[in-house]
Structure 1
Amino acid sequence: MDTDRCNIFCCSWLLTFMFLPGYTALLCTRSQRQTNNDPSLLTQLDLSKCNISRLQVSDFKLYPNLRILDLSNNHLEALDFAVFQFNAVLEHLDISLNRLHTLDCSSLQFIKGIKYLNMSYNHFETVDLCQEFGMLRALEHIGLSTKEIAKDDFMNITHLELKSVYLGLEDLWKYYNGSLQLLKTEKLHITAPQNLLSSWLFYDAFTVATVLEISQIRYPASPFLYLDNNSRVSTLIFSDIKVHFHIISRYLETVWHSSVKYVSINRVTIIEEFNYLPINVSKGSIESLQIENVIPQVFVFYEHPLNLFSKMLLKNLTLSNAEITYFICPPYPSIFQFLTLTNNGITDGVFQQCDTLHDLQYLNLHNNRLEKLLYVCSMTSRMDSLKHLDVSDNFLSYDQDTCCVWSENLVFLNLSNNKLMDSVFKCLPTSLEVLDLSRNNLQSVSKDIKTLKYLRELNLALNQLNNLPDCSQMGKKLVVLNLDNNIILSPSGEFFQNCQNIKTVSVQNNKFVCNCEIRSFVSSVQKFQGKLEGWPTSYKCELPEENRGIILEEFHLSEISCNVSLLVGIVVGSTLILVLLVCFTCKYFDLPWYIRMIFQWLRKKYRARNIDMRQIQKGKHFHAFVSYSQHDGDWVRDFLIPNLEKEGGSIRVCLHERDFIPGRAIIDNIIHCIEKSFKSIFVLSPNFVQSEWCHYELYFAQHSLFGKNSENLILILLEPIPQYLIPNKYSRLKALMKERTYMEWPKEKGKHGLFWANLRGAIQINLPIEEEELVQAEEPDNHGELDVDSHSISLHEAKL
């Protein structure tokens, strides 16, 4: 490429192959940053509007797989097709809107596989298709522009069976009669000349193709003077025309009884005054009339043009984007079967009380201004043959309980993109097979849907449904259900179980909450015999936040976290096993006894920290005073005393038979010994509760001054004492056994060591006064010996 084409790779890579005007197809979109990819793989290339003035062989050498090339809107003046010698698979070539005035016909062999070739709007004075064009046997579409058409200009391609030919003839000033008849094509598109008044061009055009499109008509003369039943055209298209309405009427009148069956008028501007010319629109050859994209520049009508259309006897009428606000009911029985009035401003009054549309099967009122569903219902009630009704993109609502009477044969109803709510299910035709209620305000599916027994397809997408509908309320013939883009959070797994007849379901792009309930839905999907559209990629978690974006199929929760019964069973079972294990351990190892003994030891240690030991030790001569029944004396002498006093006399125990002062009264001795002892040990047994003196000792020990401020009582349960054995007068003993923790004497020898250690720990303390000092301080008088003996004997006897 030369320096003028340095901008080629700077221009946009938006590839739009424009082969024929009116036939623009978006084929590929490429950005500049993609040019670094392997060029040998490139199949489509857009070099339009890049200021290219010259091409070289090396320009396209790197693109052996190039199939589509757009070189339109550049500055090419000459073209040697040899530049494409390395592009053997090239099929689409657009070189329109350049400055070409010469072509190297000898190089056409390099594009012999070309199918689409657009050469229109260059500087060719004549068509002059050279002989080499006849070698392009794959050619299907060709576009040309010229100012003059000579007799044999198309001679060299007359043998080619073309699909379409475009002739841009705006500047045509000379045409040789019969020239177009050399073409063989299915469709011929002509841009009408602005200065050529001869009608021979159009006469020939009617004999060339079955589809004829004429665009940019600007003059009032009719190009159809020679149109009759012998013409080849069956489909006639007008596009981009700007004329008076009476010209359109004249065109229609001309073709009404010709060979034309299908007429389409697209992008038409009606100018100046409106002169309505009555024409004969009784039944003729036309079966379908389509008028779209009308721009009226006339605002005063002596008779509205809709009168003309409503009287037409044809099967198919389309008035789309024509700025009409109503349509007149035909004055006599119409043969309309398909009536399309989309993208207008039609209101509720249309076709009310209209009894002339008995043959109408298809009615499309998409994108108008209908507001009341009851009016739509009333409109169809007189259309006996109506099967298909489209009233989507309106403003329809229904909030009444009024009975709705529809056409009995209606099987398709499109109510999408309106303002309908749940009450709409009360006003639907029971004969429906296909129902579209998408883009409304539905929050649930009413039970009234069960009246639609023949329903096969139901579209509820883009509503506000928060749960899946109950299929048991729907007819058994329902096979397609669309629930996309609602607010279904936790769909039930039972849905697919109740919807066995449905073959295709779509629940895509809902706001799924990934919890335990979603597991049953996923499990049901895997068992579903039908087809779930978009599964699994379009089914993702929306909540909770940490799971957003996870595909439902990949979301997993443990069975125990979702199955409450299983969780309760495991917890109860584990607890029961643990309890049984603890009970067995306690029974086998007597664990409670060990725990109780350790607890007592710790409790004594803790309380000892909070006691002023110096005050407690002051005046104490014994570590413990022992109170027991004489029936338990053997245990005291054989077990208790040896185990407490065995460590070098570190513990001094006060016994009545050994340490009571002779000559004193028994009560005085009891009180004295208790007050001089750091602790008081009571050996409890059934024998203990039968001893009166033991009860006195317990009473005095509990009410001693020291006992008010500290835990000075130690209870040793030598044998179990049933509560019924304790006399009622020993209420203090009952209270102590309930309030205080006592030490049980273990029968097993293995536990004796812990028992004695715990007991010694409870009474271990350093006393400053030795036992000898106590004896000297309490020396009795000689005259008291008789009393002491008598008191000691009495105490001994009493304990017996």
Structure 2
Amino acid sequence: MASLTQLLSVTVVLGAFKLISGYSFKNCIADAYSKGKSFTCIHRKQSNMSAIVNDLPHSAINLTISINPLSHIPNNSFVNLPNLQHLKIDHNHLMDINEHAFDKLYQLKSLNLSFNYISKLSPSVFNDLHNLTFLSLTNNTIKQLHRDIFFSVVNLETLLLRQNFLSHFSEIAESVSHLRNLKTLDLCFNNLTSLSHSNVSLPKSLTILYLCRNNLFTLGCKPSFLRFIQILDLSYNSRLPAMAFEGVDLGQTNYLRLRSTGVKIAEFLNISNINANHVDFSGTGLKDDNLLAEFCTMLKAKVKRIKNLDLGNNRIRNLTKYTLFRCPDITGALDLSRNELKNTRCLNFLRQTNIRSFNAEHNHLTSLQGCKTRNMVSFFKLKEMSYRYNRILSVNSYAFYHTPNITELKLNINTIAFLHRKALKGLKKLETLRLDNNLLTDLFNDTFEDNVNLKILNLRNNRISVIFNGTFLRLTKLTTLDLGGNKITHFEPSGLDGLKRLSKFYLDGNNLKQIESSLSHVFQDTLTVLDLAGNQIRFLSENIKSPPFVNLSKLSDLKLDAQRPFGLTVLPRTLFRGLRSLKSLYLTNNYINHLPPDAFDDLTGLHFLTLDNCCVGVIDLQPGVFKNLRNVTKLIVENMGIQNFSKEIFENFTRLHTLQLNRNVMQSINVDALESLPKLQYLDVRNIPLSCTCLNQGLQDWTLKNVNVQVVYLYNLSCQNDENYKFYNFDTKVCYIDLGESLFFSTAAVIFLFTVIPILYVKLYWKMKYSYYVFRSWFGEQWRRLKEEEENCKFDAFISYNSSDEQWVMDQLLPNLEGNGSSFKLCLHHRDFEPGRYIVDNIVSAVYSSRKTICVVSRNFLQSEWCSLEIQLASYRLFDEHRDVLLLVFLEPISERQMSSYHRMRKVMLKKTYLQWPGSDCDDPEPAQDLFWNKLRRAMRTGSRVKTEESDKSEGCVTDESKDNEISDENYYLLP
């Protein structure tokens, strides 16, 4: 983290000299083409504002923080973003904003705090926002505004306070009265009951005032209070009467909306000084002929001509031919939308021949009748007609014969199943025709016969299955044809003839099984956009006879996404042959099992390529597959199953700006491959199982230190094996160790140990075993107890012997040392060892609680493991502690060869003379045995210190006998 902070600090310093393209941020994404100026922080699970914005650079101008669990904005939250101009903190959980939260934001122009839970604002919260021009507090819970709340935002132009709980208009008026630049004030969806106010007045600059959906029952303002308002919306104040406008100056108002109020329109026109041309009469209760006739009479008395007459949402069910005859001459638009009309009767009810636009959307129309009759009224100036959102099932012949000059006709979003061949007859000036979202099944060669000037034809989402010959033959000026969402299986040979200028052709969501060969013949020099997504196109081989797009030299946008039901599966090698002008290619959601290395060779002009979810399972991209895509700036290869992101495959994207690698399966990314993309600024590697190993050491270092490429949410990328660890800071210290050197020394150590250990085992086995037990005892009470017992020895000698020699010990040794006038006390295994105690502990205790250890050596003794341990312990005291405690008694002759393996015993024999038991084979055994016992008794009476000691004073287990009884010679007598 420290290194990251240093990195960001360096980046900020460099920002003064070099424009930083981007880097990685914890909770935000820099917009790909904003050059480090625009950031979005959306859908983060972060409730701390500082955690979101602290790592953003000073260069940030636009910042959006939306849909987060933020509840609080603390003081000085944005001091590190002094250049911020647009700040959006909407759809969060904000309840509290500290008074200095926006300090230092001197450049801020717009602030959006809408859709939160703010109930109260400090009077000084906006103090530093001197350049603020837009402020939205929409959809909060504000009940009151302090009079000085907007004191510092003197440049404010738009203030949105809709959907709150404000109830005192005077407070609002006083708080904005000094805003000399305020143009728009939105107070809709509050609890205002009147516009009563004190002596304050609204700013003269305020021209747009929205007061819809309040509880106004009167205006209650001074006559001149609204004199500068040009757009006034008072709709959906059901208690507001006409008398509320008496004396109120609305002379400057250009648009007044009174929908769903208590205003009686005739009464209002008598009272108000507003120009009737500027009133929206929709939703004013004019639902029958009598009310409409009265309204028209009064309106005509006010004005002779009216530009736009909006009578929508009045529940009008029927219009006779004289209903609107009394109205002023309508020169612009007539809006009858959202009524209950069931028939328009060829507009005979109008008698308004100067009308230019007619809107009958959202009514109950079920059919459009033919209008080629004797008493037909023609509307030659009518240019636009809309019948959207009705229930029209059929359109009869000559249905628009009375409106021959219309240029835009909207019949979409109905249930039209029958469109008469001559329904559109006479519409020679028609340019835009909307027939989408109906139930049309057939189009005929004379359906569009008269529509020779048609430019845009939308037939999307119908049930057309076949395009017959000559259907579009007369549409030579058509530039956009939308046939998407139908059931088209094929085109007849001449089905597309006549479309000489077609530029955009949408065929997505149909049942085409192959790419029509007629496409490349009909649209050679015109087609720029072709959408074939969601069809049933499929190839069986990578080799096809004729490339379907080879002549579409100007095609710039091609979509082949999501072919049903199993995708393209096979991508032909020459499918894109000739598409050198193609700029965007979409191949998402196909299941291509192999990308041929030359499939994209002709796409030299491509700028955008998406292969998202295009391939089956794990794909192995071949080197050279993208070799000619040098102009691609955005590449999306998400969920392709890419195993290896290598330089050999991606190095030709020399102009690539944005790379999205999400949801692939590579465990590592080659840094060389990334560094081969010199223009890269945006990299998304989320949901890739990157391993936190030395394999990605270089990638980690690159992502942290680059100053040109933004790695999206780098600090949230988890390690593959453990999500608790993050990729950006996994430990790489081990990666810097010289493995060759380590392996050499490790191997050498292992070889040495395997060589030395057997030798040590043979030579020092008992020494080590003894040392272990002594070491164990040293940490317990045993060691201390043994030392104490040595000073007051319990035994004169511990007898070490093999069980096979027990008869000699019991018959000879025991009587001669403990009996026959001798006073020695011996320690024997079977007699003196403590029951239930470890054998080793008993042996150690016996050796250290006896002045001497007598080893009765025989061939059986040498083969006994316990006997070896006992002599090892005694020899340890002899050689290491310098105590003369060991006596060797050989019961039988043992050759030098047999003794060679017992180096410890041979060492004792070299230092001290041993006693040989004169057996029955001796010539005169009795004198020899008497001499043996005398010498053994004399040896047992010697002290435990060797002669090298400075003092001859007895120590340890030494008797009180005089030195005359000691053996003056170092060696004992050897008995033959």
CA contact (8 A) 1:28 1:44 kept: no
Residue 476 of structure 1 aligns to a residue in which SS? Answer: coil
User: Which of 242, 257, 267 does residue 142 from structure 1 map onto?
Assistant: 257
User: Which of 657, 676, 680 does residue 892 from structure 2 map onto?
Assistant: 676
Matched, 1:277 2:398: yes
Gaps of 5+ in 2: 1-88, 96-115, 126-135, 142-162, 177-183, 424-439, 664-685, 773-798, 814-854, 860-878, 929-976
User: Which residue does 1:558 correspond to in 2?
Assistant: 732
Sort the Cα spacing of 1:467 and 1:542 in 2 relative to 1 into closer, same or farther, 3 A.
farther
In structure 2, C-alpha distance between the alignment counterparts of 1:249 and 1:31, rounded to whole Å:
58
Give 1 or 2: higher helix fraction.
1
- Equivalent residue runs for 1:470-619 within 5 Å: 472-474=624-626, 475-484=629-638, 497=651, 499-508=653-662, 510-515=686-691, 516=693, 517-522=695-700, 534-536=712-714, 540-541=717-718, 543-544=720-721, 546-547=722-723, 552=727, 554-558=728-732, 560=734, 568-575=739-746, 578=749, 597-599=763-765, 612=803, 614=805
User: Which of 506, 510, 513 does residue 369 from structure 1 map onto?
Assistant: 510
In structure 2, C-alpha distance between the alignment counterparts of 1:257 and 1:485, rounded to whole Å:
57
Sort the Cα spacing of 1:310 and 1:322 in 2 relative to 1 into closer, same or farther, 3 A.
same
Sort the Cα spacing of 1:771 and 1:57 in 2 relative to 1 into closer, same or farther, 3 A.
same
User: Which of 30, 38, 43 does residue 120 from structure 2 map onto?
Assistant: 38
Q: Measure how far apart 1:485 and its partner are.
A: 5.3
Sort the Cα spacing of 1:452 and 1:208 in 2 relative to 1 into closer, same or farther, 3 A.
same
Residue 386 of structure 1 aligns to a residue in which SS? Answer: coil
How high is the TM-score relative to the length of structure 1? Answer: 0.59
Q: Measure how far apart 1:317 and its partner are.
A: 1.6
Residue 759 of structure 1 aligns to a residue in which SS? Answer: helix
Residue 512 of structure 1 aligns to a residue in which SS? Answer: coil
User: CA deviation digits over 1:8-30, x for unaligned, max 9?
Assistant: xxxxxxxxxxxxxxxxxxx9879
User: CA deviation digits over 1:210-262, x for unaligned, max 9?
Assistant: x967554433333486677x76x4x66542143354348789x99996462x6
Sort the Cα spacing of 1:106 and 1:527 in 2 relative to 1 into closer, same or farther, 3 A.
same
Matched, 1:405 2:581: no
Give the AA of the match of 2:222. S
- Equivalent residue runs for 1:146-185 within 5 Å: 148=265, 156-158=273-275, 165=280, 167-168=282-283, 170-171=286-287, 172-174=291-293, 175-176=296-297, 178=300
User: Which of 303, 310, 318 does residue 448 from structure 2 map onto?
Assistant: 310
Gaps of 5+ in 1: 1-26, 626-642, 654-674, 683-712, 716-740, 744-755, 781-800
Give the AA of the match of 1:714. M
User: Which residue does 1:292 correspond to in 2?
Assistant: 412
Give the AA of the match of 1:439. N
CA contact (8 A) 1:269 1:297 kept: no
Sort the Cα spacing of 1:528 and 1:471 in 2 relative to 1 into closer, same or farther, 3 A.
farther
User: Which residue does 1:222 correspond to in 2?
Assistant: 346
User: Which of 604, 610, 621 does residue 453 from structure 1 map onto?
Assistant: 604
In structure 1, C-alpha distance between the alignment counterparts of 2:199 and 2:806, rounded to whole Å:
120
Matched, 1:777 2:925: yes
User: Which residue does 2:29 correspond to in 1?
Assistant: none
In structure 2, C-alpha distance between the alignment counterparts of 1:533 and 1:257, rounded to whole Å:
61
Sort the Cα spacing of 1:559 and 1:31 in 2 relative to 1 into closer, same or farther, 3 A.
closer
User: Which of 332, 345, 351 does residue 486 from structure 2 map onto?
Assistant: 345
Sort the Cα spacing of 1:382 and 1:624 in 2 relative to 1 into closer, same or farther, 3 A.
same
In structure 2, C-alpha distance between the alignment counterparts of 1:202 and 1:62, rounded to whole Å:
42
CA contact (8 A) 2:119 2:140 kept: no
CA contact (8 A) 1:189 1:214 kept: yes
User: CA deviation digits over 1:196-221, x for unaligned, max 9?
Assistant: 53475798685246x96755443333
Matched, 1:437 2:623: no
Q: Measure how far apart 1:278 and its partner are.
A: 7.5
CA contact (8 A) 1:113 1:136 kept: yes
Q: Measure how far apart 1:117 and its partner are.
A: 1.2
Give the AA of the match of 1:434. S
User: Which of 418, 427, 430 does residue 563 from structure 2 map onto?
Assistant: 418
Matched, 1:335 2:477: yes
CA contact (8 A) 2:312 2:338 kept: yes
User: Which residue does 1:714 correspond to in 2?
Assistant: 899
Sort the Cα spacing of 1:569 and 1:414 in 2 relative to 1 into closer, same or farther, 3 A.
same
CA contact (8 A) 2:371 2:402 kept: no
Matched, 1:386 2:518: no
User: Which residue does 2:499 correspond to in 1?
Assistant: 357
- Equivalent residue runs for 1:224-263 within 5 Å: 233=356, 237-247=359-369, 258=381, 260=383, 263=385
Q: Measure how far apart 1:338 and its partner are.
A: 0.8
In structure 2, C-alpha distance between the alignment counterparts of 1:93 and 1:240, rounded to whole Å:
25
Residue 339 of structure 1 aligns to a residue in which SS? Answer: strand
Residue 334 of structure 1 aligns to a residue in which SS? Answer: coil
Q: Measure how far apart 1:110 and its partner are.
A: 7.4
CA contact (8 A) 1:471 1:495 kept: yes
Give the AA of the match of 1:173. L
CA contact (8 A) 2:889 2:916 kept: no
In our comparison, the structure showing a higher alpha carbon Rg is 1
Matched, 1:759 2:881: no
Q: Percent identity?
A: 12
Give the AA of the match of 2:717. K
Deviates further, 61-70 or 327-336: 61-70
Residue 899 of structure 2 aligns to a residue in which SS? Answer: strand
User: Which residue does 1:18 correspond to in 2?
Assistant: none
User: CA deviation digits over 1:609-646, x for unaligned, max 9?
Assistant: 99645269789999589xxxxxxxxxxxxxxxxx9xx9
Q: Measure how far apart 1:361 and its partner are.
A: 0.7
In structure 2, C-alpha distance between the alignment counterparts of 1:55 and 1:649, rounded to whole Å:
108
Q: Measure how far apart 1:773 and its partner are.
A: 9.1
Matched, 1:319 2:459: yes
User: CA deviation digits over 1:554-583, x for unaligned, max 9?
Assistant: 25242646x8xx664143233267479989
Deviates further, 323-332 or 54-63: 54-63
User: Which residue does 1:117 correspond to in 2?
Assistant: 233
Residue 458 of structure 1 aligns to a residue in which SS? Answer: strand
Q: Measure how far apart 1:364 and its partner are.
A: 2.1
Give the AA of the match of 1:776. D
In structure 2, C-alpha distance between the alignment counterparts of 1:378 and 1:147, rounded to whole Å:
63
Sort the Cα spacing of 1:605 and 1:45 in 2 relative to 1 into closer, same or farther, 3 A.
closer
Residue 887 of structure 2 aligns to a residue in which SS? Answer: coil
User: Which residue does 2:168 correspond to in 1?
Assistant: 57
Sort the Cα spacing of 1:459 and 1:525 in 2 relative to 1 into closer, same or farther, 3 A.
farther
User: Which residue does 1:731 correspond to in 2?
Assistant: none
In structure 1, C-alpha distance between the alignment counterparts of 2:734 and 2:618, rounded to whole Å:
27
Q: Measure how far apart 1:388 and its partner are.
A: 0.6
Sort the Cα spacing of 1:386 and 1:156 in 2 relative to 1 into closer, same or farther, 3 A.
farther
User: CA deviation digits over 1:291-320, x for unaligned, max 9?
Assistant: 421124769999988446533221012234
Sort the Cα spacing of 1:413 and 1:64 in 2 relative to 1 into closer, same or farther, 3 A.
farther
Residue 453 of structure 1 aligns to a residue in which SS? Answer: coil
CA contact (8 A) 1:288 1:315 kept: no
CA-atom RMSD in angstroms: 6.0
Sort the Cα spacing of 1:144 and 1:511 in 2 relative to 1 into closer, same or farther, 3 A.
closer
Sort the Cα spacing of 1:95 and 1:31 in 2 relative to 1 into closer, same or farther, 3 A.
farther
Give the AA of the match of 2:168. V
How high is the TM-score relative to the length of structure 2? Answer: 0.49
In structure 2, C-alpha distance between the alignment counterparts of 1:758 and 1:37, rounded to whole Å:
100
Deviates further, 289-298 or 80-89: 80-89
In structure 2, C-alpha distance between the alignment counterparts of 1:111 and 1:151, rounded to whole Å:
17
CA contact (8 A) 1:184 1:208 kept: yes
In structure 2, C-alpha distance between the alignment counterparts of 1:471 and 1:478, rounded to whole Å:
17
Q: Measure how far apart 1:457 and its partner are.
A: 0.4
